[in-house]
Structure 1
Amino acid sequence: MAVESYDAVVVGSGAGGAMAAWMLTRAGASVLMLEAGRDYDPAEAPMLNFTRDAPLRGVGTPDKDFGYYDATVDGGWDIPGEPYAMAEGTEFKWWRSRMLGGRTNHWARNSFRMGPYDFKPFTRDGLGVDWPVSYEEMAPWYDKTETIVGVYGNNPNLENHPNSGDGVLHDPPTPRAWELFLKAGAGKLNIPVVPARRAVLTRPVDERSPCYYASECGRGCAIGAAFQTTTSLIPQARATKKLTVRTDAMVHEVILDRAGKAAGVRFIDRKTGAQREARGRVVILAASTGETARILLNTKVAGRSEGLANSSGQLGRNLMDTVGADLSATFPALEGRPRYNEDGAMGLHMYIPFWLYKEQKAGKLNFARGYHFEVGGGFNEPGDLGGLDGYGAGLRARAQRAYGSTIGFTIRGEMIPNAKSYCEIDPVLKDRFGIPALRFHFGWTDQERAMVDHFHKTTQDIVTAMGGKLNKPPETADRALRKGGEIIHEVGTARMGADRRTSVTDPYGRCWDVDNLYIGDGAVFASKAHKNPTLTIMALAMRSADHIATRLRKGEL
């Protein structure tokens, strides 16, 4: 097969890769997008199928972790023939989507902006590192990204939770009854409950229709209301006639020319096993945090083992994920309420943003970074049937009364990078294509444990103020903490910085060691704010692609 050449080769079709391709094709550049997984068309999404009609009533299975109808079918925590390793004492779960559109097909769509403190955490508390960009620099890119993506929410003027520009946000959905109940209860403790921000349309955008509140977003959205790159950025880039997409293309190495610049990539056709090459004036790696690190670590420069773009020694280091733990409670005030459809937008309408920045700055907390609550409720089965006794009609009546009386509380918190959390190439393990596999090292610290303890206490205070009772008492922080990678927010393995001695890329995601090699995914994160990362990945990718387009026009690439 002849080797084709493009202005840009983009590896990955998720949030960062699709945004880069969208920007570059609109600027007139020819782009090849390589996706390791299968082709996927959301128009075929089983949006309105009943889970009761699915095998095993739609529950998760080893090959479909999030249920029978989830958009991700070929990917997951464990992919046959594509293993990864964990160092002794490490528990880490690595999610791979393996489909066109990547994780954007099944994510929660929570889209919170990072704020001024999040971009300069070291300046604020002396831990970790600062980003080489500020919130003020990123604000216009957030506005542009939110406008294209479509994000509902409002501007509550809260500390370190920045407002969007005028007219950018869509109107948020109406709060549901249990959310109003939560808002009233938390309000007694001066804890804010405000409209969430989610990448779900409540007004039309281009060819995408607003949400009609009847399907689970994780199944994929044929009408384009719930944002995914397969209904927006990718088809729009294709419409320019400048984008070529190849699926089942397993990239494993960056090709360098004699001058040490990126000339393209090598990939394996997953269906045939054939080795292929793609050439480009610029290469953008947006394969996901772990996969991007793996490609760079597997690219040997002059036979050396440290990988490509690793003169700082930071490649694979600084691995972070979101802090996660869960509690649930039952509230007598919600029992027996009238039944009606309160499914809503199948995700957050309201949430609890971090509210203790002043107390944290004053040293009144024993952890340095923030967290937020994601909450869930509605007419679901009771969270704990253990308290129900008896049989027959009486038991059924008590169970029916309990429906809709449970609220779930989830922490999403910031992890501070630590030396024991990183990934590297395993010396022995390879996948079915012969590509050396990743080995993960991961561990939480006292910072994250103290945060979970605070979440537990605060949740108990909120539940008490609402007249409820926890369904189970809180576990110790070590037992409550979700495994590394389990929240699917891993970032940081090729962080950006202002000094090439301590970072892998410059502020535009350009590798210090290779002038025409860029990183466009969560690998570049210098810190992991408690805000979900996808919106920031897209905003950074848009800014980076604008920089690349300018260089292409000037003939610098």
Structure 2
Amino acid sequence: MNTDRTCDVLIVGAGATGSLAALVLAQGGLDVVCLEQGSWVEAEDHPHLHADWTWQRRTNWSPDVNKRTHPDDFPVTTDSSQILMWNAVGGSTNVYGAIWPRYRPSDFRKGTEHGLQPDWPITYEDIAPYYEEADRLVGVSGLAGDPAMPARDTCPTRPMPVSKVAKRLASGFDRLGWHWWPAEAGAISEDYDGRPACNNCGACNGCPRGSMSKYSMSIWPKALEAGCELRINARVLKIETDADGRASGARYVDRNTGHTHFQKAKIVIVAANGIGTPRLLLASDNLANSNDQVGRHLLHHTLVACELWVDEPVDGHIGYVASLLSRQFAETDVSRGFVNGFNFNCITSTASAGELAAGWFTTARAPWGKEHHSWFQRHFGHSIGVFAIGDDLPNPDNRVTLDPVLKDSDGVPAAKTQYAPGENDKRMMNYMLDRLEELAKACGAFDYRLHDYRGKDGVYRTPAWHMIGTCRMGDDPKTSVVNKWNQTWEVPNLFIVDGSVLTTGGVVNPTPTISALALRAAAYIRDNFEALSDTTRRSIAA
């Protein structure tokens, strides 16, 4: 490890987007260093192969950073019920479900559509080639030809097997005349690129086999082979700037030795997720934030859910986590009483008998006493889950700030988040719940439970599975943090490539879009490196 040299590109964060940027830039011949505050997650570390799988998922392997006590984590003060992030090589791909839908063309032009969200400075057509590239790297499985989406290349691997859950849900959608399509997955249905095909073990949240694309197994080996230097257990304390206001590198602590180092760089890329990135910029003397936009417009997605049970055994405890998607209500129709739309993510069930009996993701629990066994016999293997995920409107008061008191173990202020849905979002939630009830009945459910995350006190406590929008992309330096190339307006050699740059939330899981944007930004840096690293140039690229 040579911290005295000035590397070409320094990347903060070795998650999905940091790994993709490292791959593109190292393969392009640049000297790349990546700092990751966590470590590697080995196959045997995952809870899947352990008898106490359920307990581990609720404790030390909880995806919620505040429910586990890992030394790699930093604390988050929040009003959300969960903060899903994982600090390690591969980031949250160690615990995600890898549902892999794309944004729609209309997601990039909401300002034109209704004016309550800004237009992106790019279009679907600008990002489409990078969607394809990300799919090839990941080995996405799926079926091309969805009539609700633009034409795309054939998926690298064929769709996941059609499950009993999918068949039962499809029958319900057909009765209602609603759109459905097999879910695209960031998991491989056949052997691909040295990784084994999915074995349909069920309840996917991370994958020790690498069948679901853990970026530590699918991307990082290629980036390391190309020459990227990855330093684990390296927590960045601050991004430094020079006399001209350009990023000069990062000060970090080696958590193995306790020593602090400074890594100099010509270009700095931050890839620390929608909470970690604004936290780091704010802790770096309010870097790139003279317009007070860093940390604002936090988006989680408007979320409600339905858990339903059918008489037919559907074996929801096995198979890939996602079965179908429905974009029936994805586009704006103001006759519904709100703008924007939502998507149905149709999933399987929990693979754990204990989780089902104790309440999976609604309040339905097996009764204690003589009815326990009969309830369990009727419900286990008969359950199906459906999430409705909506495009929440950005609100500058939904934001990430620094906690004034709480700090991490190295003295950096903790992140503090606040989020509440607006009136448009609440009207959408009510409409979504009504549609979920219709779907449960159309599927012939003998029982169903709705979950709107508002609780009995009316306080919205969404699980923050998607943390986006806090350093958003735009074409106006007054209202955005980065331009169309993920380059910060105020610091020409500072780029952001994680979910914080998303201008709008869309109605789908964001990882495919975040990955595509990271590939696009990295290609731009690679192709324009000399100009971007020239200290005599102060202007932002067009």
TM-score of the two chains, using structure 2 as the length reference: 0.88
Counterparts of 1:143 and 1:444, CA distance in 2: 33
Match of 1:275 in 2: 260
Alignment of 1:255-334 (within 5 A): 255-300=240-285, 307-332=286-311, 334=312
**One-letter amino acid matched to 2:301:** T
Alignment of 1:410-429 (within 5 A): 410-429=387-406
Residues 476 and 29 of structure 1: CA distance in aligned 2, closer, same or farther (over 3 Å): closer
Residues 525 and 211 of structure 1: CA distance in aligned 2, closer, same or farther (over 3 Å): same
Aligned residues of 2:398 and 2:419 also touching (Cα < 8 A): yes
Match of 1:27 in 2: 28
Match of 1:211 in 2: 198
The match for 2:216 among 200, 210, 230 is: 230
**One-letter amino acid matched to 1:347:** V
Deviation larger for 343-352 or 373-382:
373-382
3-state SS of 1:364 partner? helix
State how many pairs are aligned. 522
CA offset digits 1:220-254 (Å, max 9, x no partner): 333x32101111211111112x2111111111211
Q: Does 1:365 align with 2:336?
A: yes
3-state SS of 2:528 partner? helix
TM-superposed deviation, 1:532: 0.7
The match for 1:376 among 347, 355, 373 is: 347
**One-letter amino acid matched to 1:202:** S
Aligned residues of 2:23 and 2:222 also touching (Cα < 8 A): yes
TM-superposed deviation, 1:442: 1.7
Counterparts of 2:176 and 2:319, CA distance in 1: 28
CA offset digits 1:502-526 (Å, max 9, x no partner): 1111101111111111001011111
Residues 513 and 154 of structure 1: CA distance in aligned 2, closer, same or farther (over 3 Å): same
TM-superposed deviation, 1:18: 0.4
3-state SS of 1:183 partner? helix
Aligned residues of 2:80 and 2:464 also touching (Cα < 8 A): no
TM-superposed deviation, 1:396: 4.6
**One-letter amino acid matched to 1:18:** S
The match for 1:483 among 461, 477, 482 is: 461
Alignment of 1:48-197 (within 5 A): 49=49, 51=50, 53-54=51-52, 58-65=55-62, 82-86=74-78, 90-91=79-80, 93-159=82-148, 161-165=149-153, 167-197=154-184
Match of 2:234 in 1: 249
3-state SS of 2:322 partner? coil
Counterparts of 1:422 and 1:434, CA distance in 2: 22
CA offset digits 1:372-431 (Å, max 9, x no partner): 22223468657756689856xxx7567434432222222222211113201222333322
TM-superposed deviation, 1:215: 5.9
Counterparts of 1:510 and 1:118, CA distance in 2: 21
3-state SS of 1:218 partner? coil
Aligned residues of 1:10 and 1:17 also touching (Cα < 8 A): yes
Match of 2:537 in 1: none
**One-letter amino acid matched to 2:510:** P
Aligned residues of 1:489 and 1:533 also touching (Cα < 8 A): yes
Aligned residues of 2:143 and 2:155 also touching (Cα < 8 A): no
**One-letter amino acid matched to 1:83:** P
Deviation larger for 464-473 or 74-83:
74-83
3-state SS of 1:147 partner? helix
Counterparts of 2:373 and 2:289, CA distance in 1: 63
TM-superposed deviation, 1:176: 1.3
Counterparts of 1:441 and 1:276, CA distance in 2: 33
Residues 342 and 366 of structure 1: CA distance in aligned 2, closer, same or farther (over 3 Å): closer
TM-superposed deviation, 1:212: 2.4
Q: Does 1:37 align with 2:38?
A: yes
Counterparts of 1:502 and 1:537, CA distance in 2: 20
Match of 1:304 in 2: none
State the percentage of identical aligned residues.
Answer: 26
Residues 100 and 482 of structure 1: CA distance in aligned 2, closer, same or farther (over 3 Å): farther
Residues 481 and 188 of structure 1: CA distance in aligned 2, closer, same or farther (over 3 Å): farther
Counterparts of 2:181 and 2:502, CA distance in 1: 27
Match of 1:497 in 2: 474
5+ residue gaps, structure 1, are 67-71, 301-306
Match of 2:325 in 1: 351
**One-letter amino acid matched to 2:526:** A
Counterparts of 1:308 and 1:60, CA distance in 2: 37
Counterparts of 1:9 and 1:533, CA distance in 2: 24
Residues 507 and 78 of structure 1: CA distance in aligned 2, closer, same or farther (over 3 Å): farther
Q: Does 1:439 align with 2:410?
A: no
Aligned residues of 2:110 and 2:116 also touching (Cα < 8 A): yes
Aligned residues of 1:111 and 1:197 also touching (Cα < 8 A): yes
5+ residue gaps, structure 2, are 535-542
TM-score of the two chains, using structure 1 as the length reference: 0.86
TM-superposed deviation, 1:366: 1.5
Counterparts of 1:128 and 1:398, CA distance in 2: 46
Aligned residues of 1:45 and 1:219 also touching (Cα < 8 A): no
Deviation larger for 370-379 or 224-233:
370-379
3-state SS of 1:327 partner? strand
Deviation larger for 496-505 or 321-330:
321-330
Counterparts of 1:469 and 1:443, CA distance in 2: 34
Residues 26 and 482 of structure 1: CA distance in aligned 2, closer, same or farther (over 3 Å): farther
Aligned residues of 2:454 and 2:461 also touching (Cα < 8 A): no
Alignment of 1:534-553 (within 5 A): 534-552=511-529
Counterparts of 1:77 and 1:440, CA distance in 2: 18
Residues 389 and 178 of structure 1: CA distance in aligned 2, closer, same or farther (over 3 Å): farther
Counterparts of 1:435 and 1:473, CA distance in 2: 40
Counterparts of 2:381 and 2:416, CA distance in 1: 43
3-state SS of 1:8 partner? strand
3-state SS of 1:409 partner? strand
Residues 221 and 353 of structure 1: CA distance in aligned 2, closer, same or farther (over 3 Å): farther
3-state SS of 2:336 partner? coil
CA offset digits 1:442-465 (Å, max 9, x no partner): 211122211221121111112222
Q: Does 1:201 align with 2:188?
A: yes
**RMSD after superposition:** 2.8
Aligned residues of 2:366 and 2:375 also touching (Cα < 8 A): no
Deviation larger for 212-221 or 195-204:
212-221
Residues 477 and 469 of structure 1: CA distance in aligned 2, closer, same or farther (over 3 Å): farther
**One-letter amino acid matched to 1:437:** A
Counterparts of 2:100 and 2:329, CA distance in 1: 18
**One-letter amino acid matched to 1:369:** N
Counterparts of 1:447 and 1:355, CA distance in 2: 15
CA offset digits 1:31-58 (Å, max 9, x no partner): 111001123334x455862x5x227x53
Counterparts of 1:95 and 1:105, CA distance in 2: 11
Residues 168 and 155 of structure 1: CA distance in aligned 2, closer, same or farther (over 3 Å): closer
